Amino acid sequence: MIKINIVAVGKVKENYFSDGINEYLKRISRYAKVYVCEVKEENFTRGETDGDRQKIIEAEGENILKKLSGKVIALCVEGEKLSSEKFSSYLKNLYDGGEEVTFVIGGSYGLSKKVKDSADKKLSFSDMTFPHTMARLVLTEQIYRAFTIINNATYHK
């Protein structure tokens, strides 16, 4: 069974996000061992300078780097956009190769260059910006969808 890690900055505070994420994590557990690791979200205030934002990104990045293992897939806007079918094929290749997979979701300001450079793949869901908690919900849903495609289940239409 493949091991999937999700390393994400911050905690999910909204029940409607955590309920959805937990449901998909439960569904994924039929196909994979999945672990979620939340790293500290650095404190920030409105009106910060670009330098302040960069310090936050770097501090969060250092915490993320300590948690990475296996094939690392960073979620970032400049990443490759894949259809659900192509994503499932990519995940199946990792699964067939016995790879451990770690998905990385940054904080409010995104991922540091070091984290992006350490990734084996950069993946984007859209050119739009999403809250990191929503990105976590979309990621868990797409991982579940990928496994249903791989296993010819009826979820994906």
Structural domains in the chain, CATH included, are 2-42+52-150 (3.40.1280.10)
- Please give the angle made by the CA atoms of 133, 92 and 31, to the nearest 5 degrees: 65
- How many helices and strands (H and E) does the chain possess? 5, 5
Arithmetic mean of pLDDT, 77-99:
94
pTM: 0.93
Give pLDDT, residue 39: 96
Bigger pLDDT: 157 vs 144: 144
Asked if residue 24 has pLDDT above 80, the reply is yes
